[in-house]
Amino acid sequence: MTPANDHDIEDTFRDTANRTIIGALAARTVVLGDPDRMLQWRPEAGTVMSADDRTLRRGLRGRRRHLSLRAAAVISLVSLAIAACQGAGGPTPTPTPTQQSAPATAGLVAPVRAPQMLTVLNGYDNPPPDEPCPTSGYGHDHCGHQEYGLDLVPSDLSDLLVLAPIAGTIRWGLDAVGCLGMSPDVDPMLNLTVCHLSALRASGHVDPGEVLGLRKPTNPWVHLSLNVQYDSTGGQLPVSARTPIPVTGRYAIAGHDFPAQTYPPANRHACETIRSTTVASGDTSLPSPLPAIAQADLSACGSTPSPLRPPSTPTPTPPRASPASSPTSSVAIVEFRTPTSGSGPNAIANGPDGALWFTESIGNRIGRITTSGEITEFVIPTPGSAPIGIVAGPDGAIWFTENGANRIGRITSSGAVTEYRLPHDGNAGPGTIIVGPDGALWFTEQYANRIGRITTAGQVTEWAVPTPNATPWGLTVGPDHNVWFTELDGSKLGRITGSGAITEFALPHAGGRPNDLVSGPDGAFWVTELNGNRITRVTVAGAAQEFPLTGSVGPDTIVVGPDGALWFTEYAAGGLGRITTSGELSQYHIPSGSSSAPSGMVVGPDGNLWFAELGAWLSYRDRIGRATLP
């Protein structure tokens, strides 16, 4: 986010009394669903759940949107369980002595709409020998629950919809790894995990056949698994006490049983098929154009699903009204002014209430904007806290960083604020914050040169970045389920495991100031370089490919858009940029011009791109923008 004629705005701030107000203007990351979201599901109108409804359902852990509550019936039990996601609900309760599940009669419907066939690619792997099972975290649930987990490949790979197989309440959802977990109405002690989603519904009650999200085009299957995960009070069981449940009997899918079998060998149910008779409900629109869709290797089963058959019973997305359009494209952009003048909106994230929440770095406020543009502001108790990063936490609250006050903040949907002081002596400069694969909040400390982690109970852990004065800033969860970060002054990407082990990867050019990063639909990271004026693609092995931008645009925040391309804010040029995974670039101007200085961005619950207009030194802005794609 470098303004024109100023290639190091952070140094400018450090030379002024307002250094603690903004810290490094290179920061504005919003990470709600960005890390692993390839496509954003466009929600159905009129289905946002109210804050009062959310309060009544303490089990709902929302990060993208809360949809209307509906009564229940029959839903699908899903796999690739993540202790990280599943443990998002705070302290782990002690299990009761007899933790037996006694499900009522139920059946799972197929997680894709009819008429389609589902073929088992992997079934009851337990896990495969080349996939060691960690003792905690996402990996443990993934491979541990493969004992009775199923990877199901739909016959129509172009139909990306994933449907609820049973009636129940979504208990957690994690965009970063593309999984959600739900408690079936017939037995709330069970957890059904659904994985390999590029966009997901992270809260609310669903009926069988309701849309849960979109399947990843790069992983052309849906992973389902079932386990006993909650005690009689609704609390989380320890990982060691979570018992996997076979998908059979009361939990057969569309009448097809997958009985438990002894090992070896693994993959006992491979190539078995299920016919879907499920009718989809909710928002059944699909992205247009469709992204590139990978094939699933079913050669061992004697078939390969068609990658691009027209989806059955398609429902077009209704057109949206566009109050103000960009003069250079058909992308419609409208701007909403905050009540506080010059408030400096910085980062923006999807909230658990169906609205978007944003930080006001200069106004010392947290803002909330509905998709219709209604804005509410909440004052942060600590003066001059300079909030920057923001994310919806796994506890149903909004978490944010206080860059000028050495604190992590938490705000409820009603506006109640709690602040947690960091242990660093002085100001650590907390910047970006995300939800990690372990269900905790991870954040960067730009001045202390550390990566921090805070649980929903407020317990803080910190790890030093090996490169001195690296200025860690952007954060995301990678396809390897580790946390990755950018080093503004180190010109590197870093990877940190759940145990705190850090590996660094140097970018090709020093001084580019890598700011933000996102895990793209191609399995690589896409990085904005503020001073380098380029977008860089980096694999998990560290191999880099650079895409230079035209003009001095100052690329800032980057997200995966609703069309499967990468979208980024252009801080210096006052615009939005788009780059496909093949490197095709487009630029779109914001109506109010270069003074808008857009920073944070996210794909909202309405399927539009929402961005914060921070402004520049001595000319801070007070607007939130919305861009509607054609």
Residue 594 belongs to domain with CATH number: 2.130.10.10
410 and 265 inside one domain: no
Q: How many CB atoms lie within 10 A of CB 132?
A: 9
568 and 591 inside one domain: yes
25 and 109 inside one domain: no
> Which pLDDT band, with edges at 50, 70 and 90, does 26 fall under?
very low
Whether 311 is in a domain gets the answer no
Alpha-carbon distance 301 to 555, whole Å? 47
Q: Which of 27-41, 292-306, 525-539 has the highest mean pLDDT?
A: 525-539
Question: How high is the pLDDT of residue 484?
Answer: 97
Q: How many CB atoms lie within 10 A of CB 469?
A: 12
Percentage of the chain exceeding pLDDT 70: 73
In this predicted model, which residue has the larger pLDDT, 115 or 587?
Answer: 587
Mean pLDDT, range 212-220, rounded to an integer: 85
348 and 275 inside one domain: no
341 and 478 inside one domain: yes
Whether 304 is in a domain gets the answer no
In this predicted model, which residue has the larger pLDDT, 626 or 131?
Answer: 626
Question: How high is the pLDDT of residue 617?
Answer: 58
Average pLDDT, the chain: 76
Return the CATH number at 129: 2.70.70.10
124 and 171 inside one domain: yes
Question: How high is the pLDDT of residue 99?
Answer: 31
Domain boundary (284, 306, 340) is at 284
265: preceding bond cis by omega (within 30 degrees):
yes
Question: How high is the pLDDT of residue 265?
Answer: 53
Whether 298 is in a domain gets the answer no
Mean pLDDT, range 411-426, rounded to an integer: 94
Number of domains in the chain: 2
Whether 70 is in a domain gets the answer yes
* CA-based nearest residue to 353, from 35, 68, 59, 40: 68
Which of 68-82, 144-158, 410-424 has the lowest average pLDDT? 68-82
Assess whether pLDDT exceeds 90 at residue 546: yes
Cα-based angle 421, 425, 430 (whole degrees, multiple of 5): 55
Reading the block at residue 190, the tokens are: 């069970």
Number of H helices, E strands in the chain: 5, 40
Question: How high is the pLDDT of residue 516?
Answer: 97
In three-state secondary structure terms, 188 is coil
In this predicted model, which residue has the larger pLDDT, 545 or 98?
Answer: 545
List 410's β-bridge partners, or say none. Answer: 399, 418
Are 345 and 601 in contact by the 8 Å Cβ rule? The answer is no
390 and 533 inside one domain: yes
144 and 204 inside one domain: yes
Alpha-carbon distance 485 to 467, whole Å? 13
Q: How many CB atoms lie within 10 A of CB 257?
A: 13
In this predicted model, which residue has the larger pLDDT, 457 or 593?
Answer: 457
Assess whether pLDDT exceeds 80 at residue 481: yes
Burial of 99 (0-12, 13-18, 19+ CB in 10 A): middle
Tens of pLDDT, residues 271-324: 888 888 888 888 787 877 778 888 877 777 765 443 433 333 332 322 222 333
Domain boundary (226, 259, 284) is at 284
In three-state secondary structure terms, 166 is strand
Tens of pLDDT, residues 226-265: 888 888 787 877 776 778 888 888 888 988 888 876 544 5
395 Cα distance to chain centroid: 15
Whether 315 is in a domain gets the answer no
Q: Is the dihedral of CA 267, 272, 277, 279 positive or negative?
A: positive
243 and 385 inside one domain: no
Whether 307 is in a domain gets the answer no
Assess whether pLDDT exceeds 60 at residue 8: no
Question: How high is the pLDDT of residue 231?
Answer: 80
Q: What is the DSSP pairing of strand 168-174 with strand 204-206?
A: antiparallel
Q: Which of 18-27, 57-66, 210-219 has the highest mean pLDDT?
A: 210-219
> Which pLDDT band, with edges at 50, 70 and 90, does 28 fall under?
very low
> Which pLDDT band, with edges at 50, 70 and 90, does 507 fall under?
very high
603: domain range? 9-35+320-628
Assess whether pLDDT exceeds 50 at residue 91: no
365 Cα distance to chain centroid: 24
Mean pLDDT, range 367-386, rounded to an integer: 96
Question: How high is the pLDDT of residue 470?
Answer: 96
Question: How high is the pLDDT of residue 551?
Answer: 82
Whether 14 is in a domain gets the answer yes
In this predicted model, which residue has the larger pLDDT, 140 or 433?
Answer: 433
30 and 53 inside one domain: no
379 and 347 inside one domain: yes
Whether 442 is in a domain gets the answer yes
421 and 456 inside one domain: yes
Mean pLDDT, range 218-229, rounded to an integer: 84
> Which pLDDT band, with edges at 50, 70 and 90, does 145 fall under?
low
Cα-based angle 142, 146, 147 (whole degrees, multiple of 5): 140
Domain boundary (265, 284, 303) is at 284
